[in-house]
Structure 1
Amino acid sequence: MLNYCLMVTGPAYGNQRSRSALQFSQTLLKCNHRLSMIFFYQDGVLNANSFSTLASDEVNLVHAWQHLAKQNQITLYVCTTAALRRGIIDSTHASLLKKTGENLQPGFELSGLVNLVQMILTCDRFVQF
């Protein structure tokens, strides 16, 4: 059994990277590998935007990420800097920026690159999508 860490740089919709990362994660878990953290970076942070909408016939990748994380105790980290640049904020940053409301999806957690480095140092395999 190997401990995997993933970094997702693709948005939920617009290209295949996020969906491929999700399918890879599901397969890892079915094969009894460990997946403790997933780090969303660059446009990957858009997976955590609660203002995203999708067509009724599309797979809801955001909910699939949330379900995967909850069922398997996986932390979904979102790069704070990349998120703020793309207009994604949590309640803490909303008050600091004097904005009303937040749009970070439940189950996702804003984080710095320190968590990414720790993640890389503690895993057996690091895969980027």
Structure 2
Amino acid sequence: MVNSSYVIMLQAAPDDYLAGQQALQCAQDLVTKGNQLKQVFFYGPAVIYANQFLQGPSGAPNLQEQWRKFSTENNIPLVVCATVGSQYGLEALPPPAGNLAEGFVAGGLAEFIETLAKAEHFLQFQGSGSC
């Protein structure tokens, strides 16, 4: 039984590990508690998560891979804003035509708003773990 429906927007860059980890933990908690997570939308600097060439420092958590695993295990779409992505070097097509990482899909604000309108709750992570 679904308790409530949610959409999460992540705006923090991948090097803001605290925000990324807290957003991921929040998403995992929502699903574990029986809620429906309709989408995780990556916007602003967070679009970098969707770049297949993303490399973090040695020893740092690979949040890109953790998001992909979470998405696959729970059938949650990871949507990246294609327009903003282009400003951060993201070619929102799968390789070889682009550099969109496996597990992410390109979308836009129109699709985000459409999904948001169908959700009961909206959670936004802007940086440094803020929600």
Same fold by TM-score, threshold 0.5 exceeded?
yes
Amino acid at match of 1:127: L
Could you list the runs of 5+ residues in structure 1 that have no partner in the other structure?
Answer: 95-99
Matched, 1:81 2:77: no
Whether the aligned pair in 2 keeps the contact of 1:10 and 1:16 (CA below 8 Å) is no
Whether the aligned pair in 2 keeps the contact of 1:12 and 1:19 (CA below 8 Å) is no
Could you list the runs of 5+ residues in structure 2 that have no partner in the other structure?
Answer: 126-131
Task: After superposing the two structures, state which structure 1 stretch, 50-59 or 28-37, moved more.
Answer: 50-59
Aligned to 2:119: 123
Q: Distance in 2 between matches of 1:71 and 1:29?
A: 11
Give the 3-state SS of the residue equivalent to 2:59 in structure 1.
coil
Q: Distance in 2 between matches of 1:113 and 1:90?
A: 14
Q: Distance in 1 between matches of 2:93 and 2:7?
A: 27
Task: After superposing the two structures, state which structure 1 stretch, 54-63 or 103-112, moved more.
Answer: 54-63
Whether the aligned pair in 1 keeps the contact of 2:50 and 2:80 (CA below 8 Å) is yes
TM-score, normalised via structure 1 length: 0.88
Which aligned runs of 4 or more in structure 1 are off by greater than 3 angstroms? none
Deviation (angstroms), 1:102: 2.0
Matched, 1:112 2:114: no
The structure 1 residue matched to 2:18, chosen from 4, 16, 19, is 16
Q: Distance in 1 between matches of 2:62 and 2:70?
A: 12
Q: Please state which structure has a larger fraction of its residues in helix.
A: 1
Deviation (angstroms), 1:39: 0.7
Aligned to 2:62: 60
Q: Deviations over 1:82-110 (max 9, x none)?
A: 10010001337x9xxxxx74221111011
Aligned length: 123
Aligned to 1:97: none
RMSD of equivalent CA atoms: 1.7
Whether the aligned pair in 2 keeps the contact of 1:36 and 1:73 (CA below 8 Å) is no
TM-score, normalised via structure 2 length: 0.86
Give the 3-state SS of the residue equivalent to 1:16 in structure 2.
helix
Q: Distance in 2 between matches of 1:126 and 1:91?
A: 27
